[in-house]
Chain A
Amino acid sequence: MKKDQLSGYQFLPTLIGILFIVLTIAISSCQDTGPKTVAGKLESCKGFLDESAWSSAIDMCKDVSTDEGWHLTAQAYMGRAGLSMFSLLRSLTDPDAVPTNLIFGYIPDTTADSDDYKSALDAIMLKVETKTPTMYLESLLLSSMLVFREMKLLLGLGIDATGDFTTCAGNPPAVENCAFAPKITTITQTIVGVDVEIPDQLVFGGLGASFYDNLCDNHIADPTHDGVSTIDMTVDASVDVFDGANDGIMSVTHDVTADGCQIKNTSVLHYNKVANANFAGMSTISALSMLDFYSKFDSGVNFSIDIATIGLVTFCKSGIIEPPAANDYWLNDCEVLNFLLNPGL
């Protein structure tokens, strides 16, 4: 090629250099700043999780709107509440581990943490369409921790140095030791020349709204029940107060406010039931059946009060407070009091 033919190209290196600079500026200025595709959003969601940027992860993972995205959303909620499912599950694989004792250590401390646990449950149970055994296991553990929190608040549930649970009821458990205990006024009656202490009035203010709100997603404030009921009683045979008949009927005046709830499909107890029913069990985690709190609560077993010289007296009486039924998705103080004092932990 002749020199004059090349003259037209002598500025080309400069032009190309300028082109490089322009390209650099152009490309740098039009970089993407956020994900556009589902895969991209999922990647961002995982990135935030890796960085423990929980709130950002929650927002991003929600936006993915797939089963995986919702599951990761749940884990972001757990992370924000300080719950390491990794640590918990790993501990549970220890064959000597007692699940209830282990998860006691993961009870949410604050209302905000508790709300995040519940949000995590909602994400798994309501949003994920095809749930895996792990998701049910997570739900079982989360719901159990929320039940524990309510028990801790209401019953003063604690754990002693030997790993045994303690409650306000003490050992042996007695409802009188707890703040919510029904108050029973007794009177002394002289029958056939013998002084006998018999119940005269039962006063109970109810367990309150927050327990039911947090576990059933609603609360029914049953109005005060006033009335008179009778107690079928059998007296110690050594006290011959009924002329050898050893039994009799006493009347008791009730002044009771009973709280209750209908277990909603968005509630902790419903999630606990579904998770229990669907968790197939993992080979190295066992003894989780003790976390079946729904069955323990909605047991249909009526709370009984032990009255000296008379014995066990059922708390709910037909016509005053209807006795509970099992698995009817309704709870009231009668069932709950029974569970609280006999949690089977």
Chain B
Amino acid sequence: MIKMKRLIIAAVFLFIAGLPASLFAGEFRDLGQDYRSLAMGNTGIASANNSSALFYNPATLSNIYNWWFDFPMLEVTASSESMALYGQAKTGSFNLETQDEQFDFMRDFIGQNPYIKFRLGSNIFFNVLKQGMSVGANYTYEAVLDIQVRNPSLPTLDAFARLDHVRQAGISIPMAMGRFILGVVRKQIERKEVAFNYGMSDAIDEVPFPTMDTDGKSGAGEGYDVGFIFRTASKSRIQIGGVYRQEIDLQDATKIPKEIAFGASMVHNFGNLRFTGAVDLRDITSELTPDDKTNYNRRLRYGAELGLFPLSRNTTMFSFRTGYSNGYPSTGVEMYFGHAMIIGYTRYIEETGEYAGQNPSSRQVAYASFGF
């Protein structure tokens, strides 16, 4: 109930207040980053095995050996500094309409980076052939609010808000007796976003505070991802995967950049324990970091998962995860009660600057899905 209230508040101020931020050049704002992948260092090119498969690599649909339907899927990501924002929203004191309110907000949040991401969606996945043919589709509504108030001497409020509606459907097709899997996903994306800097001088001059309605940019587009998985003939189910994401033009809104990424994973069972390891090398062609093509530390990610009491080839009752991404460790846990209810929690750090340690944003993710 409390979580729902938070979600509502977050959604309300995204829609109504039409809030804050500039495009923080350092953060890779990928669509569909989910709690499991984030806990495992944001890996998933070869290791995704849940509803995020269509976002990471459609060929990983082959890691799904059962079927399910989620409704709803809820995921909330928040930085530790967003709690103060939530506190204001809860008491109704959060407002940026008047000059005094803007000054007070700048004063209260100087040096802070409140970040909230809210995902709501529904997924349906179905394994057709054990060799690796699966189909899946999902609808995801993703809202991000990212605020940063910089510079105590003359504060500037950098704000970024984005609303994405993503519809996608994909299939994985086994080849060579299931050793090689080809995956394709078709995406439709509608995006509305606003990014701005609102400085002290704007507040003094009583420049109207930008909102999504008055200053937002929007667009829609379609595109596809093509991926593959190569499965080695080993007990440890070692897989090598790759994906090519087509650039998706979204008219006035920020495009979805092209990406080529590779990954490897392994899954090994030890009785009631299951160990999963994963390594991803993302953004091979440096589309997200055009000015710095050498920063592999940002793009090389790896993670591990220890599952207790396997329930199927891709699910365990309890999961403990850790990973390394952007130069920071991540951790997470999950409880799986069939597809009736899945609860997950992840802590990770996102680098919003150029290199690890420059401007980290510590975040927590809460996930819950219900279905059958």
* Interface set of A (CB-CB < 8 Å, partner B): 1, 5-6, 9-10, 12-13, 16-17, 20, 23-24, 27, 30-40, 43-44, 46-47, 49-52, 72, 75-76, 78-79, 83-86, 89-90, 92-93, 132-134, 137-138, 282-285
B318 to chain A, nearest CB (A): 21
Q: Do residues A75 and B354 form an inter-chain contact, with CB atoms below 8 A?
A: no
CB neighbours (8 Å) of A6 from chain B are: 233-235
Q: Do residues A52 and B354 form an inter-chain contact, with CB atoms below 8 A?
A: no
B side interface size, CB within 8 A: 48
CB neighbours (8 Å) of B151 from chain A are: 46, 49-50, 72, 75
Q: Do residues B204 and A47 form an inter-chain contact, with CB atoms below 8 A?
A: no
B167 touches A (CB below 8 Å): no
Q: List 21 A-B contacts (CB under 8 A).
A: A13-B268, A20-B279, A20-B302, A23-B279, A27-B296, A27-B297, A32-B356, A35-B353, A36-B354, A38-B291, A40-B358, A43-B353, A43-B354, A49-B151, A83-B153, A86-B107, A86-B153, A86-B154, A86-B155, A89-B200, A90-B103
B304 touches A (CB below 8 Å): yes
Q: Once bound together, how far apart are the Cα atoms of A206 and B354, in whole Å? A: 56
CB neighbours (8 Å) of A10 from chain B are: 235
A178 to chain B, nearest CB (A): 36
Within 8 A of A (CB), among B95-122: 99, 103, 106-107, 110-111
* Interface set of B (CB-CB < 8 Å, partner A): 25-26, 99, 103, 106-107, 110-111, 150-155, 199-201, 204-206, 232-236, 238, 266, 268, 275, 277, 279, 291-292, 295-297, 300, 302, 304, 324, 327, 353-359
Given contacts A10-B235, A20-B277, contact A32 B354 (CB under 8 A): yes
Q: Do residues B266 and A13 form an inter-chain contact, with CB atoms below 8 A?
A: yes
A211 to chain B, nearest CB (A): 28
Q: Once bound together, how far apart are the Cα atoms of A225 and B295, in whole Å? A: 70
Partner of B205, one of A34, A36, A283: A283
Q: Nearest A residue to B25 by beta-carbon distance?
A: A39
Q: Do residues A40 and B297 form an inter-chain contact, with CB atoms below 8 A?
A: no
Pairs A-B, 10 closest by C-beta atoms: A40-B354, A32-B355, A134-B201, A9-B234, A50-B111, A75-B153, A37-B291, A43-B353, A79-B153, A49-B151
Q: Once bound together, how far apart are the Cα atoms of A212 and B291, in whole Å? A: 47
Q: B-side binding surface: helix, strand, loop or mixed?
A: loop
Q: Do residues B153 and A85 form an inter-chain contact, with CB atoms below 8 A?
A: yes
Q: Nearest A residue to B149 by beta-carbon distance?
A: A50
Q: Nearest A residue to B353 by beta-carbon distance?
A: A43
Q: Do residues B25 and A282 form an inter-chain contact, with CB atoms below 8 A?
A: no
Given contacts A43-B25, A50-B110, contact A84 B354 (CB under 8 A): no
Partner of B354, one of A1, A9, A17, A35: A35
Q: Do residues A16 and B277 form an inter-chain contact, with CB atoms below 8 A?
A: yes
Q: Do residues A20 and B154 form an inter-chain contact, with CB atoms below 8 A?
A: no
A89 to chain B, nearest CB (A): 6
Q: Once bound together, how far apart are the Cα atoms of A282 and B200, in whole Å? A: 11
Given contacts A12-B238, A32-B354, contact A78 B292 (CB under 8 A): no
Q: Nearest B residue to A75 by beta-carbon distance?
A: B153
Given contacts A84-B152, A283-B205, A283-B206, contact A31 B357 (CB under 8 A): yes
CB neighbours (8 Å) of A23 from chain B are: 279, 300, 302
CB neighbours (8 Å) of B295 from chain A are: 32
Q: Do residues A85 and B154 form an inter-chain contact, with CB atoms below 8 A?
A: yes
Q: Do residues A51 and B235 form an inter-chain contact, with CB atoms below 8 A?
A: no
Q: Once bound together, how far apart are the Cα atoms of A31 and B111, in whole Å? A: 24
CB neighbours (8 Å) of A138 from chain B are: 154
B85 to chain A, nearest CB (A): 17
Q: Do residues A16 and B266 form an inter-chain contact, with CB atoms below 8 A?
A: yes
Q: Once bound together, how far apart are the Cα atoms of A20 and B268, in whole Å? A: 15
Q: Once bound together, how far apart are the Cα atoms of A134 and B327, in whole Å? A: 38
Q: Once bound together, how far apart are the Cα atoms of A16 and B275, in whole Å? A: 12
Given contacts A50-B110, A137-B201, A284-B99, contact A44 B358 (CB under 8 A): yes
CB neighbours (8 Å) of A85 from chain B are: 153-154, 200
CB neighbours (8 Å) of A132 from chain B are: 201
Q: Once bound together, how far apart are the Cα atoms of A32 and B297, in whole Å? A: 8
Q: Do residues A46 and B150 form an inter-chain contact, with CB atoms below 8 A?
A: yes
Given contacts A86-B107, A284-B99, contact A31 B355 (CB under 8 A): yes
CB neighbours (8 Å) of B302 from chain A are: 20, 23-24
Q: Once bound together, how far apart are the Cα atoms of A6 and B237, in whole Å? A: 11
Q: Nearest B residue to A48 by beta-carbon distance?
A: B151
Q: Nearest A residue to B207 by beta-carbon distance?
A: A283
Q: Do residues B99 and A93 form an inter-chain contact, with CB atoms below 8 A?
A: yes
CB neighbours (8 Å) of A283 from chain B are: 204-206
Q: Do residues B153 and A44 form an inter-chain contact, with CB atoms below 8 A?
A: no
Q: Do residues B359 and A31 form an inter-chain contact, with CB atoms below 8 A?
A: no
Q: Do residues A12 and B25 form an inter-chain contact, with CB atoms below 8 A?
A: no
B48 to chain A, nearest CB (A): 18
Q: Do residues A9 and B200 form an inter-chain contact, with CB atoms below 8 A?
A: no
Q: Once bound together, how far apart are the Cα atoms of A137 and B205, in whole Å? A: 12
Q: Do residues B300 and A27 form an inter-chain contact, with CB atoms below 8 A?
A: yes
CB neighbours (8 Å) of B200 from chain A are: 85-86, 89, 134
Besides the known contacts A6-B234, A33-B355, A282-B205, 9 further A-B residue pairs in the complex with CB atoms under 8 A apart: A9-B232, A9-B233, A20-B304, A32-B355, A37-B354, A38-B291, A75-B154, A79-B153, A285-B204
